[in-house]
Amino acid sequence: MTDKITLSVIKADVGSLCGHTSVPPELIDRAEEKLADSDLLDDYQVTYVGDDMELIMTHRLGTDHNDIHELAWDAFLAATEVANELKLYGAGQDLLSDAFSGNVKGMGPGVAEMEFTERKSEPVVVLMADKTEPGAWNLPLYKIFADPFNTAGLVVDPNMHDGFDFLVYDLKEGKKIAFSMPEELYDMLVFIGAQSRFVIHSIYRKGNEEDNIAATASTQRLSLAAGEYVGKDDPVCIIRCQSGLPAVGEVLEPFAQPHLVSGWMRGSHHGPLIPVSTEGSTPTRFDGPPRVCALGYQITNGKLLGPQDFFADVAFDEARKTANRIANYMRTMGPFEPHRLPLDEMEYTTLPHVMKSLEDRFEPIDE
């Protein structure tokens, strides 16, 4: 137990009302009851984006703590029971195991956690997405922490001028590598531009100072954990803001230009990431388009003040229009790439089965 605060955001899809669209209040209430019963937490909120339920928790036990992970797992299990009773769609979808084994990583839920000493003022933004994958944060995180056209602070704030260190995971090989920005920008872009495999795990202030964590994202890939397609990973991300870190407005700015992500309809299509309020996060159009919500909190003596539901703002209306126009265009391509994901990304769907059943009919091209 330390004076440091840990902010844990742990999420799972444990059932949805009518398709993969929404988390009904009964599930939220049940998860909240579980968290309320615990004396481990300083504070908590249960929220959602589309069909994904997010547990946002503060405590003093550090990251990757068994008790916190077990609490989250129990909350998801309890909500799954309700989902089963109500015969909701995809009840327990993201819970890949029957028994908890110390850490929810690899068991289905997505996890973003950071430990820090609460500053004089501690503003954080929690990003939550539905119908996409962890690599969806690569482009916005790059803009927020390495692109001076997005983040004025990189140019004008002496405390940010040296840039940031990025930790990137290779999800396929199970390896990680650190890059120093801006010196290694071009090297890093080679990798993070391939966001289905290389994902930004966390970002740090430069130097060995205490409390240098600036951002961290969930990097779990359900399909890699389960060996087959079981839903997309629908990631979360935590970003600390202000006072030598990006301003809140710099954190939100990349989402004004919706970028293309994978995970739309059956986890098998590319589409624009549309910024929405939590209330507006029910994906309808072809089960999408992919959604992102941004919740702002002040962490005050371990308590979560907020949220501020940032993308409810009219300033993101144009982004929504742009995303809808892109969505219309992408849809015209139906089952053709690049709307549909490339073959190697479809490996956990029914496609390999179709391939197999037609194997005998393939003949050599004899010319």
Cβ closest to ligand 13P, residue 50 vs residue 109 = 50
Cβ closest to Mg ion, residue 153 vs residue 263 = 263
352 binds ligand 13P (CB under 6 A): no
| Contacts with Mg ion, 18-57, as mask; x by CB under 5 A | --x------------------------------xx-----
Looking at residue 156, what DSSP letter applies? H
21 binds ligand 13P (CB under 6 A): no
121 binds ligand 13P (CB under 6 A): no
Cβ closest to ligand 13P, residue 123 vs residue 140 = 123
* Residue 52 φ then ψ, to 5°: -105, 135
Q: Which of 49, 136, 247, 323 binds ligand 13P (CB under 6 A)?
A: 247
Tokens encoding 294: 């941004």
SS3 state of residue 298: strand
Q: Are 336 and 346 in contact (CB under 8 A)?
A: no
Shortest CA distance to 55 belongs to which of 279, 270, 295? 295
Looking at residue 89, what DSSP letter applies? B
What lies within 8 Å, CB to CB, of 139 at 6+ separation is 195, 254, 259
Q: Are 259 and 269 in contact (CB under 8 A)?
A: no
| Contacts with ligand 13P, 59-98, as mask; x by CB under 6 A | -------------------------------x--x-----
Distance CA 317, CA 310 (A): 12
Query: Is-catalytic flag, 13?
Result: yes
Dihedral angle, C-alpha 47, 301, 38, 65, nearest 10 °: 90
Looking at residue 37, what DSSP letter applies? H
| Contacts with Mg ion, 221-260, as mask; x by CB under 5 A | -------------x--------------------------
- Burial class from Cβ neighbours inside 10 Å (0-12, 13-18, 19+) for residue 259 reads middle
Query: Is-catalytic flag, 105?
Result: no
234 binds ligand 13P (CB under 6 A): yes
Of the listed 11, 34, 131, 232, which one is catalytic?
232
Q: Which residues bind Mg ion (CB under 5 A)?
A: 13, 20, 51-52, 90, 93, 130, 234
Active site residues: 13, 229, 232
Q: Which residues bind ligand 13P (CB under 6 A)?
A: 13, 20, 50-51, 90, 93, 130-131, 231-232, 234, 242-243, 247, 249, 265-267, 287
